[in-house]
Each structure stands twice: as structure tokens, then as C-alpha cells.
Amino acid sequence: MTTSQLSVQRSFRISARTSELLDSLAATSNESRNSLVEQLLGEALRLERHTLVRFRSGASGRREPFLTGTRLLVRQVVAQIRDARGEVDEVADYLGIERSLVLAARDYYADFGAEIDEDAELAALVEASEHARWERQQTALA
């Protein structure tokens, strides 16, 4: 989930317990409270709209949406939908998941496509970098 958009100043009251939880999370992460509130509130609002999507941190440290009950990232399912020319049932069969999950990925992409495309581009860069590193390792060991 990207946060490169302009920010807006808001003022909210939160319970003491929520504040304690936020402070605790901030203390154990490398994130500020403001950054965590932006991330968590943004994710919570998306979850309200897209109930079959959750978020997790990937290898690059970025938080990416995935389909609940699976290990599939939304970007991976979207790539399959493109490859199958939009044939939802074909993608569900290929991935071995329910049709509703493929539709959930499609619907999430409809709302947040630019972010999913950004995640896919970053993943491709990381993959290329890791492959180049692997090739260097193979050469060094030969």
C-alpha cells in the first residue's frame, strides 16, 4: 500500500487503550506513530470494502494485499486474470481457489489498480536483483 499521496491534517480522539497499543507497536517497529496510524487506518478502511483481502509485509518490507485463506498476493491473481484474458473460472481452476477469491482480487484491483501495478513493478525489480545476485554467487563458487 503506497502512501505517496498528499496528506491531510485531521484530529481524532482515541481511547487510552488504543493509544497504548499504538505506542507499543511504534516502540517495537521502525515506524512513527503517525506512519503507523496512516498504514493501519488505510488498511482498515480497505478491509471494510474488500472483506476477502488482508495485508502482510513482504520480503521487501512493503505491505501488500493478499487473499484471505491463501498465500496469494492480489498482484499474483491479477496477473493470472490478465493471462487468462479475464476468464475468472479458468483462473480459479488454475490456482485451485474459489471463484469468489478471484473476483475479490479483481474488485480490489478495480479500486486500487495503480498501487497493485506499483507492487508488481517493485516485485519485478526485486526478482531481477535477486536473480543477478544468485548468478554472481554461482560464478563465485565455480
| pLDDT tens column, 58-92 | 766 789 999 999 999 999 999 999 999 999 999 99
- Please tell me the distance from the alpha carbon of residue 7 to that of residue 70, in angstroms, as a whole number: 33
Provide DSSP, the chain. ----SPP--------HHHHHHHHHHHHHSSS-HHHHHHHHHHHHHHHHH-TTEEEEE-TTS-EEEEETTSS-BHHHHHHHHHHTTT-HHHHHHHHT--HHHHHHHHHHHHHHHHHHHHHHHHHHHHHHHHHHHHHHHHHHH-
For residue 1, the model assigns a pLDDT of 62
Of the ranges 57-61, 99-103, 125-129, the best mean pLDDT one: 99-103
The dihedrals phi and psi of 21, each to the nearest 5 degrees, come to -65, -40
- Please tell me the distance from the alpha carbon of residue 115 to that of residue 109, in angstroms, as a whole number: 8
For residue 130, the model assigns a pLDDT of 92
For residue 62, the model assigns a pLDDT of 82
pLDDT, greater one: 103 or 60: 103
- Please tell me the distance from the alpha carbon of residue 15 to that of residue 103, in angstroms, as a whole number: 36
Place of cell 516485485: 123
For residue 17, the model assigns a pLDDT of 97
